Structure 1
Amino acid sequence: MAEIKLILARPIQLADQVTKAADEATSCKQECADLKGKTERLATLLRQAARASSDLYERPANRIIKETEQALDKALLLVLKCSGNGLMKRVFTIIPAAAFRKSFSQLENSIGDVSWLLRVSASAEGRGDEYLGLPPIAANEPILGLIWEQIAILSTGSPEDRTDAAASLVSLAKDSDRYGKRIIEEGGVGALLKLLKEGKVEGQENAANAIRLLGRDPENVEAMIQAGVCQVFAKILKEGPMKVQAVVAWAISELVSSYPKCQDLFEQHYIIRSLVSHLAFETVQEHSKYNITVNKATSIHALVLANNAKTNNVYKAADDDDRQLHSRILHPMGNRTPNQMHAVVTNSMNMLSGGAVPSTTATPQPSHMEGHSLSSNGKHIIPHHSPYLHHAHSGPSTKGRELEDPATKTKMKAMAARALWQLAKGNLTICRSITESRALLCFAVLLEKGEQEVRHNSAMALMEITAMAEHDPELRRSAFKPTSPACRAVVEQLLKIIEKEDADLLIPCVKSIGHLARTFRATEKRMITPLVQLLDEREAEVSKEACIALTKFACTDNFLHINHCEEIIAAGGAKHLVQLVYFGEQSVKLDAVTLLCYIALHLPDREELARAETLPVIEWASKQSQLTQDEAHERLLHEAANKLELFQSRGPRGGYH
């Protein structure tokens, strides 16, 4: 590098000056001769470094050259003291022997440092099997020397050595966050990304694992983003071996978890599309009904697109690529009878396309709609909502993926779901992109038949997506319409898990149902009873989340709150809530009394509330400071008590206090 060559000029000049001054020494001639010998050796190494400056490892080079320059400066001052001409100067200039010993040591260390720098920066062939050891400059911080060595090997070593070096960095990053920061500071990210792009499979896995571990710190993630990690990850997810792709997906989840600001950057590199493709592989069967063309545009946006031939051609090409990519996707059950989940999806698709012309006799559709496809929920995909749909590629190729072992395929799905979970968290744009793909159908199938880790990550991803849908009416209407096949399939699986009370998946599934509370129709009542049953002597966290979910059904913001409150009462919710308010853990009481208040506000005349002695409970709760700290809750308690007092003034009054 030109910069390193420039900074080498000064120490080389100093070395020449020391040599010249040593020749002119009039006192301590032996010591000066020894200094000259060491300086000449050092000068030779410095000139070698200058000739190889373009290959030198920059970080240690800068530090070593600076230390060498300081050592030569001190040696020059020492030698100049010995070259005085005057008698008085020679008599009164006292140079302690320790000064020479210290200078000898400094020069020897510099020789060792520069020699190490040349060896560590050499190619694998030039270095051979020679043990590099630690440079003297790193004697007080051996880890720094080790990090330098491993990063240098990553850049210039043989494939096997690079794999081992990446494994060493994985170990260091796992041991300490401080070591991870040093790896970032010393330029390790670029070397790891290079190995991830070019190395063997094991080396690529180690590099991806190292990046994953380094990504636990937000500052590290920011540095990796600037180094180009998004581009490399996108390339690997599209073309790399599945084992490496699984680790990359895991790394994405870690980076996004630590530094949520990078969510949109990953989406801009079409990573959502690749992850969904991995999720769909051998999960949902490719079916002609998944892509349906229609006879006319149904929105202003579609009419505008109809006049843009160039845009339509791009979308058509993307759809053609997508169909070609997924034409070989098979259902995991092979030729056996499809499982219940797949039957739900197939039947829903048949109902959705009941009025369509069969594909064998379909007439060509107008070209202005060829750029549109139908998502898994039956809604037209608006291209500007999904930037990755503009990409001409359709995600990773299926070639060779069928040959991967089942454990690798399962790991890939688990990590893809985990990455989508973290990417969807709090990001409306990404949630919209996910729901406009086949991901919801994939999540539904995987919740039923996937391995435990796959099911857990799928449930967490659905929880984040439904949380965004709860607060965004447009996403809620497009992705979770009651008639949507994907929505029906997802709700079916969520309710099954709640009814079975699967401990690992129960909380996210309860939250998801609560998030979807405003999407259910008045005739749909099956989700209430399983939630009410969770109020009866369950763990505090389960009861709390069940109360929160039911509150979203019963609150005034839900248009069908009367219907839902009636169903909660019919399922025996009043008596369970009374018990939770009195005898539940402190973390549950507030949510339980809030739900009870909403039921009392909407149905104050119900006999079940009187029998459960709801009014005394609410009056008691209104006197508890921990339940009335919030002004909104205090007002809700007051309104509920007034309503019950009005309608149940003749009802039984308990002896609660």
Structure 2
Amino acid sequence: MAQHHKTIQQQLALQILLADGLVKSVKQLQPSKVDCSEIAKLAAQLAHLLRSTARLVSSFTTAFYDRPLGAIFSNLSLNLERAQTLVRKCKQRSGIFRQVFAIATAADVRRVSNVLESSIADIRWLLSVFVPDDNAGVINPSLPPIASNDPVLAWVWSNIATVQHSTRLKDRVEAANSLGSLAGDSDRNKKMIVEEDGIPPLLKLLKDGASPESQIAAASTLLALATDEETIGSFVRSQAIPAIVQALNDSTSVVVRTNVINLVSKMAEIDSRVQEDFGRENVMRPIVTFLANDIVLDDVTYHFNSSLSFNKRKETATASPEQKLNLKISCARALWSLSKDSLSNSRKITETKALICLAKLIEHSTDETQELQINCLKTVTELASVAESNPELRRQVFKPNLPAARALLDQLLRVVNHEPNPKLVVPAITIIGSLARTFPAKETRILGPLVSKLDHEVTEIANESVITLTKFICPDNFNRVEHSNAILEFDGVPRVIGFLKSSENIKIQVLGVRLLCYLVLNVGGNSRVLEEGGVVSVIENGGRNVVAQCPDMKELVAKAVHHLNVFQGGGRMHRQGCVP
């Protein structure tokens, strides 16, 4: 910060020297030359204002917001140099050309005076922004000349400066809200706010926690700015992640928590790289804690579970049921965003009581809680997806004999069997598919509901059921034979055939043919159901189209057809030989 102030003071000193030098040069002109007294007067005013600016900068104990100052300096240097060039020309002219020169130069003097007046107005505007309560003798134009072609720039500068430096919290809140309004108007405004260093002051306002209103204003504006990876990169470089986590840990307002958690979600969704950054700051801990609050587990109502506890002030803010529900909805969405394709974050989430909490929240089905249920299912979907490719996590967290996993499975089956909303049913089926390798052969209550969904009127539900059943009987599943027999017992074959006939979509055809092929390869030698159901002709006919579109299915289809011909062909000959 000291170096920052030193650099600004050096720039100011240079401008003051240029202004003083201009005054001195004008005084050295002979009285008979062109009248440049107005230039000298303006240069003296500039030097005075620049010295006032230097005193202002030195009075700040925090980093000075210098973006408008830099732009003003750039113009001022050009204007002072232009004036100095004119004065030098006035010194050099003499003789018979003096009168002609005087006429021509009078217009130049007016032009130079105008640009110096513009620089004076710019600096006066700057002082008015930083000293709004003590601006005696300072004109406060609504728009500085430097921003005359782009009024938004002046508004951005003044609002950022107010957020960073104002001693009145009310003004800082209003300025933050103004930036949020500007950001909502256009992408160009968002980009301008970021480029003009608007993020650090907003983060400071969020982290300071002076009031819930100030934190809400800062979080809302940051949320409006977070629109692409480039902006998220600016957030990260501004140390946004530790500031956000600190604000989340320290806040006692449910509304503030909701806004901050929404910011976490949006950042993680836009740029997956910040997932690990948030994970290192352990943002999941407060999020899971807020999600778990007031949930009854084993006849105990958890108010910040002891296993999730962290340093917090006592919550003093009261919240309505709607606000508490919105917080939980945001928490579930954030856990979904943070866990997506992230093993480390998934581990940290499942090391808490998150899984049992998610199961409990999925259980309560009302119109008001449906969005919360959907977000909880999305979170579990991501956790299960990570576990599907990580056997250790799968065993540690989702093994069916574990209480949390058992409670979760109960709710997933309830959703599959009884919920009408596809937005709930589809992710529930997806989760079961991701965990297919964890279920023992004796777990018979899962496959029946899945088979029954093969002819569901909602295409997404039927498709997801086929994908999930395929995971139960694919070569990677140790219990594939037992699961295949169970599918046959639940009349799976005619339902799969009906599924194939229901659409000509090649993707659906691939799903159904693959499932039939696995069934054939697992139980084809022991089941008359496959022969009686006409599976051979279905695979042969459907397989031609599938192989033509998806060559990688050729080997699987050929194996299934061969398997059926060998076992069922032999069976037919044996039965025919026994006929009297």
- Taking structure 2 as the reference length, what is the TM-score of the superposition? 0.88
Q: Which moved more, 1:15-24 or 1:66-75?
A: 15-24
Q: For residues 332-481 of structure 1, what are the structure 2 equivalents within 5 Å?
A: 394=310, 396=312, 399-400=315-316, 403-449=318-364, 451-481=369-399
CA distances 1:311-368 after superposition (whole Å, capped 9, x unpaired): xxxxxxxxxxxx99647xxxxxxxxxxxxxxxxxxxxxxxxxxxxxxxxxxxxxxxxx
Q: Find the aligned partners of 1:167 and 1:410 in 2 and give their Cα distance.
A: 25
Amino acid at match of 1:465: L
CA shift for structure 1 position 127: 6.0
Contact 1:447 1:458 in 2 (8 A): yes
Matched, 1:57 2:69: no
Indicate which of 410, 414, 423 corresponds to 1:492: 410
Root-mean-square deviation (Å): 2.7
Q: Find the aligned partners of 1:534 and 1:159 in 2 and give their Cα distance.
A: 58
Q: Find the aligned partners of 2:139 and 2:385 in 1 and give their Cα distance.
A: 58
Contact 2:34 2:105 in 1 (8 A): no
Instruction: Name stretches of at least 5 consecutive residues in structure 2 with no aligned partner.
Output: 573-580
Contact 1:497 1:505 in 2 (8 A): yes
Contact 1:121 1:152 in 2 (8 A): yes
| Counterpart position of 2:27 | 23
| Counterpart position of 1:617 | 538
Contact 2:127 2:135 in 1 (8 A): no
| Counterpart position of 1:198 | 209
Matched, 1:548 2:548: no
| Counterpart position of 1:576 | 495
Q: Find the aligned partners of 1:125 and 1:270 in 2 and give their Cα distance.
A: 42
| Counterpart position of 1:81 | 89
Q: Which moved more, 1:404-413 or 1:577-586?
A: 577-586
Amino acid at match of 1:437: T
CA distances 1:471-516 after superposition (whole Å, capped 9, x unpaired): 1111010101111110011111111111224222222211111101
Contact 2:293 2:304 in 1 (8 A): no
Contact 2:509 2:542 in 1 (8 A): no
| Counterpart position of 1:638 | 558
Q: Find the aligned partners of 1:475 and 1:131 in 2 and give their Cα distance.
A: 63
Q: Secondary structure at the match of 2:296?
A: coil
Indicate which of 276, 279, 282 corresponds to 1:270: 282
Q: Find the aligned partners of 2:305 and 2:236 in 1 and give their Cα distance.
A: 31
Q: Find the aligned partners of 1:406 and 1:98 in 2 and give their Cα distance.
A: 72
| Counterpart position of 1:4 | 8
CA distances 1:577-614 after superposition (whole Å, capped 9, x unpaired): 22333442343222222212111211224333233322
CA shift for structure 1 position 630: 4.4
Q: Find the aligned partners of 1:430 and 1:649 in 2 and give their Cα distance.
A: 53
Amino acid at match of 1:509: A
Percentage of identical aligned residues: 34
Contact 2:122 2:145 in 1 (8 A): yes
Indicate which of 563, 567, 582 corresponds to 2:482: 563
Q: For residues 531-546 of structure 1, what are the structure 2 equivalents within 5 Å?
A: 531-546=450-465
| Counterpart position of 1:283 | 295
Q: Secondary structure at the match of 1:394?
A: coil
Q: Find the aligned partners of 1:643 and 1:28 in 2 and give their Cα distance.
A: 114
Q: Secondary structure at the match of 2:36?
A: helix
Matched, 1:99 2:19: no
CA shift for structure 1 position 177: 3.1
Q: Secondary structure at the match of 1:633?
A: helix
CA distances 1:228-264 after superposition (whole Å, capped 9, x unpaired): 2222222222221221011111110111111211222
Amino acid at match of 1:436: E
| Counterpart position of 2:229 | 218
Matched, 1:159 2:169: yes
- Indicate how the Cα distance of structure 1 residues 629 and 97 shifts in structure 2: closer, same or farther if over 3 A, else same: farther
Matched, 1:602 2:522: yes
Contact 1:278 1:396 in 2 (8 A): no
| Counterpart position of 1:525 | 444
Q: Which has the higher contact order (CA 8 A, sep 6+)?
A: 1
Aligned length: 553
Matched, 1:208 2:212: no
Amino acid at match of 1:459: L
Amino acid at match of 2:203: L
Q: Find the aligned partners of 2:7 and 2:298 in 1 and give their Cα distance.
A: 57
| Counterpart position of 1:514 | 433
| Counterpart position of 2:576 | none
Q: Find the aligned partners of 2:31 and 2:143 in 1 and give their Cα distance.
A: 36
Q: Find the aligned partners of 1:594 and 1:198 in 2 and give their Cα distance.
A: 57
- Taking structure 1 as the reference length, what is the TM-score of the superposition? 0.79
Q: Find the aligned partners of 2:362 and 2:484 in 1 and give their Cα distance.
A: 29
CA shift for structure 1 position 267: 2.1
- Indicate how the Cα distance of structure 1 residues 324 and 620 shifts in structure 2: closer, same or farther if over 3 A, else same: closer
Q: Secondary structure at the match of 2:133?
A: helix
Q: Find the aligned partners of 2:362 and 2:23 in 1 and give their Cα distance.
A: 77
Structure 1 outlier segments of 4+, above 4 Å: 26-31, 91-94, 127-132, 395-398, 626-631
Q: Find the aligned partners of 1:574 and 1:561 in 2 and give their Cα distance.
A: 16
Q: Find the aligned partners of 1:651 and 1:111 in 2 and give their Cα distance.
A: 102
Q: Find the aligned partners of 1:532 and 1:397 in 2 and give their Cα distance.
A: 51
- Indicate how the Cα distance of structure 1 residues 517 and 631 shifts in structure 2: closer, same or farther if over 3 A, else same: same
